[in-house]
Amino acid sequence: MRIYTYCWGGSSIDVAKYVKLNNPEAKLAVIPTTAGSGSEATRFAVLYEDGKKLSITDDIMIPDYVLFDPELLKYLSDYHRKSSALDALSHALESFWSVNADSESQNFSREALTNITRLLENYPESYKPEEMLMSSYKAGRAINISQTTAGHAMCYKLTGLFKIAHGHAAALCNRILFRWLVNNKPLLVLNNIADSMSCKSPEEAAEKFCAIFDKLGLEPPRASSHDIEILAESVNPERLKNFPAELDKITIKNLYQEILNTNGR
């Protein structure tokens, strides 16, 4: 007998993945409702036990079937539509430069980055739900191979501390990290990233990422110097290792100040 577990949305997909982990005979069919998490394409699940975050990874949790229904995105608030899209954009970017990237993951990253940039450049006119769902899935396929990097390592505490959406927090970090990488470690992969974003140089691509974020009208939350201390201690070391440059404690603190615009405050 086959057991089918149907579920909707990023967090519920993760719960269903955990059910699948404990019942490998079951087939897992998922329906993404946010166009951003990429959870429908990955072996990762994030769960909370007694308030503590658990990250579980197992190939058995990759969904067997994915159903895409663009109509479901109508029920998202504008804020969650935008922040989910920024989550997918962050996955495409981070998977591209991840130290674990290979040619397969970079093919997915390239396609996702090109499409998501185009879909967000003139939001809301340029946003197409069906294309966003597919692009988010492709970005999910990319991080399934390469994993995420510093943007995600640094964003988790931001969501908890300031009650902002995950994609909003990830993009806040990546708009600063992108520029930092361009200025401090001019890797060849940054040229490929620029190319995928239809930019002539990595500098232009980093500015385009910022322009997309700014145009969506999302802002950094207001943070105190105490918040910066908390954040600097919160970074996920596992994800940080995937970033193609070393970030020491002082650099991380400076980056958080830039991310939250607290320089000189």
Q: Among 49-57, 80-88, 109-117, 221-229, which window interacts with Fe ion (CB under 5 A)?
A: 80-88
Nearest CB to Fe ion, comparing residues 12 and 191: 12
How many residues form the binding site for Fe ion (CB under 5 A)?
1
Q: Would you count residue 87 as binding Fe ion (CB under 5 A)? A: yes
Nearest distance in Å: CB 143, Fe ion: 8
Q: Among 49-57, 83-91, 101-109, 119-127, which window interacts with Fe ion (CB under 5 A)?
A: 83-91
What is the Cα–Cα distance from 152 to 154, expressed in whole angstroms? 5
Q: Would you count residue 40 as binding Fe ion (CB under 5 A)? A: no
Nearest distance in Å: CB 152, Fe ion: 6
Nearest distance in Å: CB 56, Fe ion: 15
Nearest CB to Fe ion, comparing residues 16 and 86: 86
Q: Among 16-24, 84-92, 187-195, 202-210, which window interacts with Fe ion (CB under 5 A)?
A: 84-92
Nearest CB to Fe ion, comparing residues 152 and 179: 152
Q: Tokens at residue 196, please?
A: 């995928």
What is the Cα–Cα distance from 148 to 205, expressed in whole angstroms? 19
Q: Among 82-90, 99-107, 110-118, 230-238, which window interacts with Fe ion (CB under 5 A)?
A: 82-90
Compute the C-alpha angle 175/163/21, nearest 5°: 90
Summarize as ranges the residues that interact with Fe ion (CB under 5 A).
Answer: 87
